[in-house]
Amino acid sequence: MPAIKTSAARILAGLAVSAFFVPAVTLAATLVVNNEEPLSISTSPGFTYIVTGPDGNLSVPTEGFLFCANVYSGDQPAPTAVTVVPQHGDWRLPAAQDVATVAYSAGTLRVNRSNQTSLMCHGVGAQGEILSPLTEGLLRNGYESRAAEQFPRMINWAPIAGFDWGAPDWSLVPTDPCNPSPDQPAQVDEDVTCAAVSGARNGVGGATRSPIMWTGTDGLSFFYIVRVDARYGPQNEANSGPQFPIDAGYQPDGVTGAMLRVVEGYDRGVVGVGGGYLGDNGQWCRLLTLPSTLDGNVCVGAPTFDLTGPLNQSIALDVTTTLYTSFYMAFVRPIVGPPPALNEPAVAVSILLEPAVSAEGGDKFKGDDVVFGFLPSSTGFSWMSGQ
């Protein structure tokens, strides 16, 4: 088992919130954002809060990854003076504002407990493990293998009799996470909103579900593809086939729609500095179908956009335009440093729903809200191959 890389969620705070914090703690603690499942805080040194003049810096080392964004409908809310800056080794991850409250009590450091904020974060364990696939939690007995424990947490699906999560046949797993059917039923009915990012590969007969992103490289660039699915409102059997979201900056009005954000993180390198794998400047594009091969031509002929850091892309769903979207996002980033180990991810993509809709029961299944990508020869995290 590889050594666990410690992440840090740095919360840069002004004087207005300085009264909420205590000095560094050494007991076991957890970090919770918007009542999501907690990330374990490293028992040593715990977390620290340092005041320098008018500013404060709360540093929270955690065992895992944290993906954050500001997600909101209508007009942009006035940002607070507090910013969350997730970090993980060499990785670069999106920063976000709008931290309204922070408090520490009984071993839990809570950020925005009331959800009255535009900040949304998803936490994932250090080995890609999903802490709970459901917003209300799911009790497990703890005796299953990591693979049998984690694979069903990644997919909102009730498998057919005889399906073995210890050795899953991915060709049988649904490729559309937001559109269950009688012959491919979901574990949880997501009747408010559904949001999912998932791995998909071009296999025999078309796209095949994958627990990790499809990746490729020509030695100069790194390519990776993720599938995005989202739905507003109850499941509608008429939903079928990939379709792009509505663009032009449209933002729904809360009760008649939902805003989502797709954010990305990657093992970042800087030319001439050393360390880190991928550069900031690249491209991404939207695709309605998976390409037959994954190479430098993946975005040719497709709507293509520049990357200057982590992606932070909005998606709007609205009853007057579209209730459903399903498409692929392909990324091309330059290789600027040495690659990560085979069982360490190089990239990750997460989808986040605005907190107001989430509080109403939106996106109940959290297991497919984050997907990782590895080197093309990798089988993923150690537990994915039974190690």
Show the 3-state SS of 8-76. EEEEEEEHHHHHHCCCCCCCCEEEEECCCCCEEECCCCCCEEEEECCEEEEEEEECEEEEEEECCCCCC
Q: What is the pLDDT of residue 190?
A: 92
Mean pLDDT, 10 residues at a time, the chain of 387 residues: 58 45 55 84 76 80 89 76 86 89 84 81 90 69 72 93 91 92 90 95 83 97 97 78 68 72 95 85 95 94 94 88 89 96 96 91 94 97 84
Cα–Cα dist 323/321, whole Å: 7
pLDDT at residue 36, as a whole number: 82
pLDDT computed for residue 138 by the predictor:
52
Q: How many Cα atoms occupy the beta-carbon half-sphere of 238 within 13 Å?
A: 5
| Confidence at residue 264, expressed as pLDDT on a 0 to 100 scale | 97
In terms of Cβ atoms closer than 10 Å to its own Cβ (0-12, 13-18, 19+), residue 17 is: buried
pTM of the predicted structure, to 2 decimals: 0.90
pLDDT at 238: 64
pLDDT for res 323: 86
Query: Which residues, including other chains, have CB under 8 Å from residue 222's CB and lie 6 or more apart?
Result: 215, 216, 277, 278, 332, 333, 334, 335, 346, 347
Question: pLDDT at position 101, please?
Answer: 83
Query: How far, in Å, CA of 236 to CA of 229, rounded?
Result: 14
Q: What whole-number distance in Å separates Cα of residue 269 and Cα of residue 184?
A: 42
Gyration radius (Cα) of the chain, Å: 20
